Amino acid sequence: MNLADKIKIKEIWVSPGELTNNHFVEKLKKANIAIHISKVGDKIPIFDSALQVLSNGYTGKGDNNDSIVTYGNFYHTKFLFTGDLEQEGEKELLRNYPKLKVDVLKVGHHGSKTSSNHDFIKEINPKLALISVGKENRYGHPNQETLETLKKYQIRILRTDQKGALKLMQINQQWRIQTVR
């Protein structure tokens, strides 16, 4: 919620499980932020297209597997954003979307040991993995085993703890990645 202190947020999309966190919901209400409860199939407008909600949580408890998972095809590049999804959620995602293939994966749960298992990575076959993780974080993310899984499948890895913020730009029919510290 520190972000809401710095910029105006009009609306936030949450999974039904997030509503179990009363403190979070109260902070949103105090900040006058509209709450949109996502549903599978919802489309979030972005660029000239939209992200499609593939999952809005599996447990309903507000845990990592209640992350909103979105998929989008932008300028002929397929993106999958997995939030904090862990292996249980990845398996469920593959059961629901058995032919899911992506070019760019936002790695789940900051690259922890509980995310990005071999079967999931092999099946979705990304070319690029983005890992959002704090530098020298107390959890030791990303986990070495997760990094080895990505390397095994020859996936290019970009990490925010090493590169800073990642900015993807589409220029002349090609994606460019700029890092910002």
What is the reported pLDDT for 75?
84
- Report whether 130 contacts 77 (CB < 8 A): no
* Banded model confidence at residue 80, pLDDT cuts 50, 70, 90: very high
CATH 3.60.15.10-classified regions of the chain: 40-180
Does pLDDT of 175 surpass 90?
Answer: no
Q: Which residues contact 168 (CB under 8 A, 6 or more apart)?
A: 104, 175, 176, 177, 178
**Tokens for 32?**
């006058």
- Please check whether the domain covering 40-180 is classified as CATH 3.60.15.10: yes
Q: How many CA atoms lie within 13 A of 40 on its CB side?
A: 8
Does position 170 have pLDDT exceeding 90, yes or no? no
Residue 16: the pLDDT is: 87
- pLDDT at position 77 is 93
Report whether pLDDT(4) > 80: no
Q: Tally the C-alpha atoms within 13 A of residue 61's C-alpha that lie toward its C-beta.
A: 5
pLDDT digits (tens, 9 = 90+) for 28-73: 999 999 999 999 999 998 878 899 999 877 667 767 878 899 999 9
Report percent pLDDT > 70 for the chain: 97
